[in-house]
Amino acid sequence: MKLIVANWKMYPKTVAEAKAIFSGIKKGASRAKHTRVVVCPPHLFVGGLVAAAGKARIAIGGQNAFFDDEGAKTGETSPAALKNIGATYAIVGHSERRALGETDEVIAAKACAAVRNKLSVILCVGEHNRDEHGAYFAEVSAQLRASLAGFPKTEAKRLVVAYEPIWAIGAKAKRAATPPDFCEMSILIRRYLTELFGKKVAFTIPILYGGSVDDRNALPFLVEGGADGLLVGRVSLDVGKFNTIITLADTCK
Ligand code: PGA
């Protein structure tokens, strides 16, 4: 069972477009037999898409959630409210939020708050650069350690880790990340999860690849790279391409 997550970022800009894109993805998700699909729209659209999802096999997630359930925190999203409106996932620690100044400490608190509210957490980690000495392994290990500080062992079933190599994302990327790049890092991530949760539990935690995924590289990351799923940004707003990714993932079982 692969997990395919759409991260819409700040798109689209109208409810009508959000509903149209979602309706297309819902059809693709409904055809899939072995694939779980999660759509993370801007928070403004979460309630509308939960209603549009109805009983279909598609989940809705937030792109972020605060570490307190309530309070005088202007502009923040309560994880309790996110859960109550019908979301079941929250992305935490996305590289774009880390770039806005979010620290591992804040991310750890957000991950705990999300699972406290029975949301599944998609925790993002990833190094800035790849150096020939392998310092990037230490960077990702440190991120994992700090971002999972205090994470309750009993909530491992609600944890998903997404690996996003920052150097491979965007137009200025030096090169694309490859399935072997992912495979190597997923071994390190799995080893750390084993230390934290024990082997049996660690092997049930999905590790996703998320960095410039499209309909051409999706299958190689899933098959050759052994990814348990994908976190898809830009391409998740293109119904045709995203549904192709779902169909490809479904061939993997
Ligand atoms: P991208 O974004 O697929 O547009 O690179 C992935 C992500 O950052 O979630």
Percent of the chain with pLDDT over 70: 99
Ligand 1 atom closest to Cα of 234? 4
**Helix/strand/coil (H/E/C) assignment for every residue in 82-117:** HHHHCCCEEEECCHHHHHCCCCHHHHHHHHHHHHHC
Cβ–Cβ < 8 Å for 20, 237: no
Tens digits of residue pLDDT in 53-96: 999 999 999 999 999 999 999 999 999 999 999 999 999 999 99
pLDDT value at 253 more than 80: no
pTM beyond 0.95: the answer is yes
pLDDT above 90 for 29: yes
Q: Which amino acids bring their CB within 6 angstroms of ligand 1?
A: 7, 164, 169, 210-213, 231-234
pLDDT single digits (tens) 75-86 = 999 999 999 999
Per-residue pLDDT band at 133 (split at 50, 70, 90): confident
For ligand 1, atom 4: residue with the closest CA = 233
Selecting among 17, 34, 76, 94, the annotated active-site residue is 94
Going by alpha carbons, the residue nearest to atom 3 of ligand 1 is 233
Number of the ligand 1 atom closest to the C-alpha atom of 231: 9
CA-CA distance, 159 to 188, in Å (whole number)?
A: 16
* Span 215-249, pLDDT tens digits: 999 999 999 999 999 999 999 999 999 999 999 99
Which tokens in the block code for residue 89? 């996932």
- 3-state SS assignment for residue 243: helix
Peptide bond into 12 cis (omega under 30): yes
